[in-house]
Amino acid sequence: MKVLAVGDLVGDVGLSKLKENLNNIIETENIDFVIVNAENVSGGMGITVQDFRTLDNMKIDVITMGNHTWGKKDIFSFIDNNKLLRPANYSKGVLGHGYGIYECNNKKIAVISLIGRTDMSVLSENPFIVVNDIIENIKDKTDYIFVDFHAEATAEKIAMKYYLDGKVTGIFGTHTHVQTADEEITENGTAYITDIGMTGPKKSVIGMDVEVSIKRFLTSLPERYKLANGPAMLNACVFEINEEKNTMESIYRISID
C-alpha cells in the first residue's frame, strides 16, 4: 500500500497545480490513499465551501487543516464532514473531528491532525498528551496510524518523532512550507519527515508575494500579505507499507516544479 501526503495547498495556484498533477501521481506511483493539507487553500488562510467541494471531488481521502482552520467562516457549514480534520488538540468541545479512521484495501487507516504549540500563536492543548490518548483509544481499531503535525519548530516535530517512534506508522510535518530532506524510517519502524513542503507559487516567500514580504522585513511595518502568482510547485511525500507484514517499506519525497 502507498499513502501520499501532499504539502500545504496555497491559494488558487496551489489548487490548480494539484488538479493538474494528482491523477498522474496516483497512477505513476500506484497510490492507494491520499492526504492533503489545505489550511491555506482559500486566499492563503482557511478553506471555503467552493474549494472544499473541489477537493472533495478529487481523488483525496482526507483533508487536514492547521492554524488557519477558522480562516473562512464557510468551514462551519462542513466542519463535521468525515473527510475533513482540524487539529485534535484544539480546545475540548470545538466543532469538527481531530482524527478519523478510513478503509483502504481491506485495511483501516487512522489519520490524526495535530498542531504544535511553539511559536504558533494558537492556544491549544498539549499535542503530546492528546495524541497519546488518541492512540491508546484507537490502536486496536486500526491497522495503520498517520499523523500530520502542523508545527513551526523543527525541535517540536523531531521530539514528536521520538515520542511516537513505533507507536504510529508515519509522521509528516506541515506548516513551514519548505520541504525538508530528512525523511527516514526510525529505529522502531515509524516513517518520518519534518516537513513535506507546500503546493503553491514557486517564486514566493512561502507562498506570499516576494516584494510585499521583503518590505515587511525592511520596514517592520504591518504590510498586508498577499498571495504570489506565477508557476507553481508541488511538494509531497510517499509512504510505502508492506501490507503482509504491516511494516513501513520506504518513504520518499516528491517535488514537481
Across residues 123-145, what is the average pLDDT? 97
Contact 11, 227 (CB under 8 A): yes
Contact 240, 2 (CB under 8 A): yes
pLDDT band at 196 (very low <50, low <70, confident <90, very high): very high
pLDDT computed for residue 22 by the predictor: 98
pLDDT computed for residue 223 by the predictor: 82
Task: Report which secondary-structure segment, H or E, holds 54.
Answer: helix 49-56
Q: Which residue has the cell 497545480?
A: 17
CA-CA-CA-CA torsion for 69, 74, 78, 82, nearest 10 degrees?
-20
Across residues 96-121, what is the average pLDDT? 97
Active-site residue 68, yes or no? Answer: yes
Number of domains in the chain: 1
Percentage, residues of the chain above pLDDT 90: 95
pLDDT computed for residue 118 by the predictor: 96
pLDDT band at 256 (very low <50, low <70, confident <90, very high): very high
CA distance 56 to 153: 30
Active-site position among 68, 150, 175, 177: 68
CA distance 206 to 200: 8
Q: Which residues pair with 199 in a beta bridge?
A: 9
pLDDT computed for residue 201 by the predictor: 97
Across residues 39-49, what is the average pLDDT? 97
User: Which CATH number goes with the domain that contains 150?
Assistant: 3.60.21.10
Across residues 53-76, what is the average pLDDT? 97
Contact 242, 249 (CB under 8 A): yes
Across residues 204-216, what is the average pLDDT? 94
pLDDT band at 225 (very low <50, low <70, confident <90, very high): confident
95 by Cβ neighbours in 10 Å (0-12 / 13-18 / 19+) ranks as exposed
- What is the domain extent for residue 190? 2-256
